């Protein structure tokens, strides 16, 4: 047996297997096919490349051989091996006289190089010459290469020839010249913009192939500026009409449909031209109607045309008759068994609902089916559709489904996308605050790391601000429900960081607000969080700040609190943390514990996270203090502008001067630019009273600040500005001393200034930046948020929140009197002459419009699916209700006229053709006449070929003699 196989193989090789290639190539393919590992394959190809390198450089190789060598090189490169040494040989081969070599050269060059490659300059010359060749094949090869290799700079070199070729007698050349010109236009529209009229001319080409090819550039041009091509609408419509009426040569028929690809391109163009143009659209309706009437839903390509027709109709000025036909076809797609057609149906539905949202209702079940389909592509497409048709009434179902799907996928890219869509929809349409928070919790729980951190900030802000301006009770209820849910969730492992941040923040802010949970309980939970996430500094910072707040609230309420042992451990640990941010927070907490009730209240007023922080830049609250100091003999502050001797120096310099005059504290660099100047002054003079008040110096500033200005918001909100700076004071003293002592006040060496400044900014940076980014900025939306963020918040959330609230109210309202509103809707749809009182008894529930009734009765946390299922029953009756009466009345004649020909109406249409999407069988079916006759006798041929293949050992599939049998039956 083994022997037999070897003999067979040798025979096969001897005869070269009939593939016209040499034994060497055959051997190469064979040995690659037999390679057992990637390493072995790499070795084989490396050897081959070595061989090729030698041979290609050898001048005594016959030219016929050269072609094959180059092809082998292309083959090796295709398998992923570097063959760059051969590029120059490919370029050389394009110079060759003989056609096969030249063509091979061009092929290799087009595959190896791109327009930016160094060798291209050598090819441009050849292309230029070949474009003038008498042999049209040479011209074609040159045009093909030109499409690939001519970059912006080289366009002028070949442009005149290409334009000339537009009038070449051979249609193959004209076609390629059109495409080359198009490609130049894509590369650099300015260099060929004066030639675009040529495309219009070629549209009238005698050859349908050239005309069809011209549609490609025209489509691009029309997309750019539709208005300058409106005059062509009639021509396009005429062409389409001729195509549909089979005036083209039959060679353009494909599966018995006349030139389908040209039809599709034309429909695309018409869709652009007719968009929002009533007059232009008017020309199209007839031919579109024709296409629908002749539409062949049995073949794949027929459906492709119908789909394109739907796209066109949904894009041009709407026409009710057309829309109806489009909806009808869409429903056929959706009812089909083929996933491809369902996919197209969903897409088409997405386009149609933009014009008439009611169309979707009829297809609720089909859409739900697609959603439940195991086919991922279809599912995603359906989610896209749902995303487009989300309303406040159905948002719950849709978002719940999205989240459910999101949880189960692993593809990060798509997970991110769907998570952000969930967030978007929830923000836009949330029917209730509670639902919103629950939804967001789910999103954060499962994809917290993938959503934008701003979403987390928005959620915190929402919880803090609440939805309604007047309804304080609802807000606090919302908060306590948030606290409840977070306390439940917080123990779970592997929560994403951003979600933990939210949890910590909410627990800190509102954990004890409703008195349901004791402070120590919440603190215990927060300590657990900090402990469980040792590596995540941001979470720890949030946790410790939350603890800080709870302590503050407790003290403010006059309750006695004691530091839990685990909390003490945490504080101790953080005080020694490497992160200065954490350290600071820990120290702040310790300082807070020593403060009395009044001080704490102003440091950390309860529920004040939303209040705007007004920064008193003039520090007017210090006026009395300054006055007092002046009276005691202090020298007055002289503004920089009025000082002599200091002209145009940095603010730090002036500050320093000011320090030397005050002699109390010395700051050197550190200083921020101008605005901070008055602040620094105040601090300098304030230091004494502060130390008196509190044991720990720095945090005491909070107190100071707040006592003087009651309007100031919570303590750590202030820290962004004040805290950071004050912190630096301490650091400054330690590190700044040497610099200071060595420097003379007025003429400080600039180098020292810089080094000093650098070291300070280091110290400052590490403590201030994390704080600002991770905490400060989040909380102090009023002051520190960037303009961009505010805009986002306004657009996403501010307005959305208001809208959501309004919507929520609206939906509640609709829920209350839903019978009456729905009744009106149904009467419209059904056009039944029924008395209005009859319908309220049984309003047809909308499946996709689920929201209305169930929402008001069910708690938002209830499983949406039970709602859905509950509705499935009655809903299945809905289409009948809305469908049959409609057809039986006024609309019926239209429908019939459109589909009079080949569409079996009514029930039959549901089961049009079981083989609808099965392309293979269809094609074999249709193409049988063309191909089958040839297929029959050549079976032997096929068997022989397969035998050879097996002997050579390249193809592993033995069970299918004719490999494309399944294609052609």
Q: Which residues within the stretch 298-337 sit at the binding site for other proteins (CB under 8 A)?
A: 300-301, 303-304, 307-308
Nearest residue (CB) to other proteins, 376 versus 572: 376
What lies within 8 Å, CB to CB, of 104 at 6+ separation is 67, 70, 71, 93
Distance CA 70, CA 874 (A): 69
CB 667 within 8 Å of CB 659: yes
**496 half-sphere exposure, CB direction, 13 A CA radius:** 17
The DSSP output letter for 561 is -
Site residues for other proteins, 465-484, by CB under 8 A, read: none
CA dihedral 592, 598, 604, 608 (to 10 degrees): 170
Q: Which position among 82, 245, 572, 762 is part of the footprint of other proteins (CB under 8 A)? A: 82
What lies within 8 Å, CB to CB, of 667 at 6+ separation is 655, 656, 659, 680, 684, 729, 732, 736
Site residues for other proteins, 264-293, by CB under 8 A, read: 264, 268
Distance CA 264, CA 304 (A): 8
Q: Which position among 105, 260, 720, 851 is part of the footprint of other proteins (CB under 8 A)? A: 260
Site residues for other proteins, 845-874, by CB under 8 A, read: none
Site residues for other proteins, 214-243, by CB under 8 A, read: 216-217, 219
CA dihedral 224, 227, 233, 239 (to 10 degrees): -30
Q: Assign residue 831 a region: left if phi > 0, alpha if psi is -120 to 50, beta otherwise?
A: left
Stretch that binds other proteins, among 651-659, 837-845, 847-855, 960-968 (CB under 8 A): 960-968
Closest CA to 822 of 887, 878, 895: 878
CB of 104 to other proteins, least distance (A): 7
Site residues for other proteins, 700-719, by CB under 8 A, read: none
Q: Which position among 101, 237, 398, 808 is part of the footprint of other proteins (CB under 8 A)? A: 101
Q: Which position among 169, 374, 645, 859 is part of the footprint of other proteins (CB under 8 A)? A: 374
Q: Which position among 44, 109, 139, 147 is part of the footprint of other proteins (CB under 8 A)? A: 147
Site residues for other proteins, 772-831, by CB under 8 A, read: none
Site residues for other proteins, 191-210, by CB under 8 A, read: 209
* Phi/psi of residue 665, nearest 5 degrees: -130, 150
3-state secondary structure string across 578-613 = CCHHHHHHHHHHHHHHCCCHHHHHHHCCCCCCCCCC
Nearest residue (CB) to other proteins, 264 versus 871: 264
Would you call 763 exposed, middle or buried from its count of C-beta atoms within 10 A (0-12, 13-18, 19+)? buried
The DSSP output letter for 364 is H
Q: Which position among 8, 9, 51, 75 is part of the footprint of other proteins (CB under 8 A)? A: 75
Stretch that binds other proteins, among 519-527, 628-636, 728-736, 932-940 (CB under 8 A): 932-940
CB 274 within 8 Å of CB 285: no
CA dihedral 949, 952, 953, 958 (to 10 degrees): 20
Polymer length in residues for the chain: 969
What lies within 8 Å, CB to CB, of 81 at 6+ separation is 42, 45, 46, 49
Residue 213 contacts other proteins per CB under 8 A: yes
User: How far is C-alpha 871 from the chain's CA centre?
Assistant: 33
Write down the H helix ranges in 245-319.
260-274, 278-294, 300-315
Q: Which position among 13, 61, 474, 693 is part of the footprint of other proteins (CB under 8 A)? A: 61
Site residues for other proteins, 154-193, by CB under 8 A, read: 172, 175-176, 179-180, 182-183, 186
Residue 80 contacts other proteins per CB under 8 A: yes
Q: Which position among 126, 144, 314, 545 is part of the footprint of other proteins (CB under 8 A)? A: 144
H/E element holding 569? helix 565-575
CA dihedral 86, 87, 88, 92 (to 10 degrees): 100
Stretch that binds other proteins, among 112-120, 229-237, 548-556, 819-827 (CB under 8 A): 112-120
CB of 312 to other proteins, least distance (A): 11
Residue 500 contacts other proteins per CB under 8 A: no
Q: Which position among 59, 639, 673, 873 is part of the footprint of other proteins (CB under 8 A)? A: 59
CA distances (Å), 954 to each of 11, 359, 960, in order? 15, 54, 14
Give the number of residues in contact with other proteins, rule: CB under 8 A: 111
Nearest residue (CB) to other proteins, 54 versus 597: 54
Nearest residue (CB) to other proteins, 255 versus 442: 255
Stretch that binds other proteins, among 420-428, 436-444, 896-904, 928-936 (CB under 8 A): 928-936
What lies within 8 Å, CB to CB, of 825 at 6+ separation is none
Nearest residue (CB) to other proteins, 417 versus 528: 417
Nearest residue (CB) to other proteins, 99 versus 824: 99
Distance CA 224, CA 809 (A): 44
Nearest residue (CB) to other proteins, 197 versus 251: 251
Site residues for other proteins, 340-369, by CB under 8 A, read: 340, 342-344
Q: Which position among 9, 148, 321, 391 is part of the footprint of other proteins (CB under 8 A)? A: 148
Nearest residue (CB) to other proteins, 38 versus 663: 38
Which value, in Å, is the radius of gyration of the alpha carbons in the chain? 39
The DSSP output letter for 928 is I
What lies within 8 Å, CB to CB, of 84 at 6+ separation is 112
CA distances (Å), 13 to each of 29, 45, 953, in order? 12, 20, 11
Nearest residue (CB) to other proteins, 374 versus 833: 374
Residue 99 contacts other proteins per CB under 8 A: yes
* Phi/psi of residue 253, nearest 5 degrees: -65, 140
CB of 353 to other proteins, least distance (A): 19
- Structure tokens belonging to residue 29: 């393919």
Site residues for other proteins, 378-417, by CB under 8 A, read: 378, 380, 411, 413
Residue with tokens 């451990």: 569
Nearest residue (CB) to other proteins, 112 versus 702: 112
Distance CA 148, CA 141 (A): 11
Nearest residue (CB) to other proteins, 58 versus 612: 58
Distance CA 533, CA 525 (A): 13
Q: Which position among 3, 36, 97, 562 is part of the footprint of other proteins (CB under 8 A)? A: 97
Residue 519 contacts other proteins per CB under 8 A: no
Nearest residue (CB) to other proteins, 100 versus 473: 100
Nearest residue (CB) to other proteins, 646 versus 954: 954
Nearest residue (CB) to other proteins, 84 versus 889: 84
CB of 21 to other proteins, least distance (A): 5
- Structure tokens belonging to residue 408: 């189960």
CB of 156 to other proteins, least distance (A): 19
- Structure tokens belonging to residue 757: 């400044």
Distance CA 269, CA 327 (A): 21
Which string of x and - marks every residue 3-42 that binds other proteins (by CB under 8 A)? --------------x-xxx---xx--x-------------
Helix, strand, or coil (residue 513) = coil
Q: Which position among 73, 109, 262, 815 is part of the footprint of other proteins (CB under 8 A)? A: 262
Residue 833 contacts other proteins per CB under 8 A: no
CB of 35 to other proteins, least distance (A): 11
Stretch that binds other proteins, among 256-264, 387-395, 569-577, 718-726 (CB under 8 A): 256-264
Stretch that binds other proteins, among 94-102, 501-509, 647-655, 815-823 (CB under 8 A): 94-102
Distance CA 724, CA 194 (A): 63
CB of 390 to other proteins, least distance (A): 21
User: How far is C-alpha 21 from the chain's CA centre?
Assistant: 48
CB of 64 to other proteins, least distance (A): 4
Q: Which position among 31, 104, 512, 602 is part of the footprint of other proteins (CB under 8 A)? A: 104
């Amino acid at each position: 047996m083994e022997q037999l196989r070897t003999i067979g193989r040798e025979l096969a090789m001897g005869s070269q297997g009939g593939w016209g290639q040499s034994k060497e190539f055959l051997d190469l393919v064979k040995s690659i096919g037999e390679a057992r590992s990637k390493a072995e394959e790499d070795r084989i190809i490396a050897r081959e490349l070595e061989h090729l390198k030698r041979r290609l450089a050898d001048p005594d190789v016959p030219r016929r051989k050269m072609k094959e060598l180059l092809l082998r090189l292309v083959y090796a490169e295709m398998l992923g091996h570097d063959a760059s040494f051969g590029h120059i040989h490919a370029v050389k081969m394009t110079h060759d006289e003989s056609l096969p070599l030249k063509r091979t050269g061009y092929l290799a060059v087009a595959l190896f190089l791109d327009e930016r490659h160094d060798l291209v300059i050598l090819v441009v010359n050849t292309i230029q010459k070949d474009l003038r060749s008498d042999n049209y094949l040479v011209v074609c090869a040159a045009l093909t290469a030109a499409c690939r290799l001519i970059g912006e700079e080289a366009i002028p070199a070949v442009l005149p020839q290409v334009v000339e070729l537009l009038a070449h007698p051979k249609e193959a050349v004209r076609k390629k010249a059109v495409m080359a010109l198009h490609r130049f236009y894509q590369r650099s529209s300015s260099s060929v913009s004066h030639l675009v009229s040529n495309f219009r001319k070629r549209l009238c080409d005698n050859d349908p192939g050239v005309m069809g090819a011209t549609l490609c550039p025209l489509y691009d041009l029309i997309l750019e500026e539709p208005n300058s091509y409106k005059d062509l609408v009639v021509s396009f419509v005429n062409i389409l009409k001729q195509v549909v009426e089979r005036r083209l040569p039959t060679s353009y028929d494909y599966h018995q449909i006349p030139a389908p690809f040209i039809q599709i391109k034309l429909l695309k163009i018409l869709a652009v031209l007719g968009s929002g143009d009533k007059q232009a659209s008017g020309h199209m309706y007839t031919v579109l109607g024709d296409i629908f009437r002749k539409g062949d839903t049995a073949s794949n390509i027929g459906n492709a045309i119908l789909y394109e027709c739907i796209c066109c109709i949904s894009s041009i000025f709407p026409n009710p008759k057309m829309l109806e036909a489009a909806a009808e076809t869409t429903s056929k797609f959706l009812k089909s068994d083929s996933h491809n057609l369902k996919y197209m149906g969903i897409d088409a539905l997405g386009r149609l609902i933009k014009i008439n949202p009611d169309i979707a209702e009829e297809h609720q079940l089909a859409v739900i089916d697609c959603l439940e389909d195991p086919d991922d592509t279809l599912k995603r497409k359906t989610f896209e559709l749902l995303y487009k048709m989300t309303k406040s009434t159905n948002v719950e179902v849709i978002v719940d489904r999205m989240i459910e799907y999101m949880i189960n996928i692993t593809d990060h890219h798509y997970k991110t996308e769907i998570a952000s869509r969930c967030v978007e929809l929830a923000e836009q349409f949330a029917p209730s605050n509670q639902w919103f928070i629950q939804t967001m919790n789910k999103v954060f729980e499962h994809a917290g790391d993938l959503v934008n951190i701003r979403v987390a900030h928005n959620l915190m802000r929402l919880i803090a601000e609440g939805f309604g301006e007047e309804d304080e009770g609802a807000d606090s209820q919302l908060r306590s429900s948030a606290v409840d849910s977070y306390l439940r969730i917080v123990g779970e492992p592997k929560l994403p960081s951003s979600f933990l941040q939210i949890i910590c923040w909410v627990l800190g802010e509102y954990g004890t607000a409703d008195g349901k949970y004791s402070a120590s309980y919440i603190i215990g939970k927060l300590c657990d969080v900090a402990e469980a996430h040792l590596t995540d500094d941001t979470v720890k910072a949030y946790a410790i700040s939350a603890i800080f707040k709870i302590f503050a609230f407790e003290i403010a309420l006059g309750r006695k609190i004691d530091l839990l042992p685990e909390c003490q451990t945490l504080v101790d640990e953080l005080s020694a943390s490497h992160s200065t941010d954490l350290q600071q927070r820990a120290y702040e907490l310790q300082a807070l514990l020593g403060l009395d009730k009044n001080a704490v209240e102003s440091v950390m007023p309860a529920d004040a996270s939303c209040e705007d922080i007004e920064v008193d830049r003039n520090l007017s609250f210090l006026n009395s203090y300054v006055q007092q100091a002046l009276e005691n003999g202090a020298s007055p502050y002289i503004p920089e502008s009025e000082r002599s001797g200091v002209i145009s120096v940095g603010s730090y310099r002036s500050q320093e001067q000011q320090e030397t005059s005050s002699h109390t504290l010395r700051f050197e660099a550190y200083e921020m630019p101008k605005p901070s100047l008055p602040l620094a002054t105040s601090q300098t003079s304030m230091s004494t009273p502060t130390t008196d008040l509190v044991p720990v110096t720095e945090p005491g500033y909070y107190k100071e600040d707040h006592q003087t200005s009651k309007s100031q918001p919570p303590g750590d909100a202030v820290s962004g500005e004040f805290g950071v700076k004050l912190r630096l004071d301490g650091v400054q003293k330690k590190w700044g001393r040497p610099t200071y002592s060595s420097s003379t006040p007025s003429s400080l060496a600039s180098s020292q200034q810089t080094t000093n400044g650098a070291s300070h900014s280091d110290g400052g940076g590490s403590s201030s930046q994390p704080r600002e980014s991770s905490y400060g900025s989040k909380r102090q939306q009023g002051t520190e948020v960037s303009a961009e963020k505010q805009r986002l918040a306004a657009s996403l959330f501010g307005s959305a929140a208001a809208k959501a609230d309004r919507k929520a109210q609206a939906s509640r309202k609709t829920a209350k009197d839903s019978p009456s509103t729905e009744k009106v809707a149904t009467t419209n749809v059904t056009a039944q002459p029924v008395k209005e009182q009859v319908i309220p008894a049984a309003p047809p529930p909308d499946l996709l419009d689920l929201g209305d009734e169930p929402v008001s009765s069910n708690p938002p946390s209830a499983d949406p699916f039970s709602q859905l299922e509950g509705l499935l029953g009655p809903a299945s009756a809905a289409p009948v209700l809305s469908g049959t009466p409609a057809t039986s009345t006024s609309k019926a004649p239209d429908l019939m006229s459109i589909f009079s020909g080949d569409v079996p109406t009514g029930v039959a249409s549901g089961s049009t053709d079981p083989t609808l999407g099965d392309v293979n069988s269809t094609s074999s079916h249709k193409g049988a006449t063309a191909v089958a006759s040839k297929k029959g006798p050549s079976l032997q041929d096929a068997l022989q070929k397969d035998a050879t293949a097996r002997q050579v050992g390249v193809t592993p599939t033995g069970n299918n003699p004719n490999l494309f049998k399944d294609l052609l039956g």
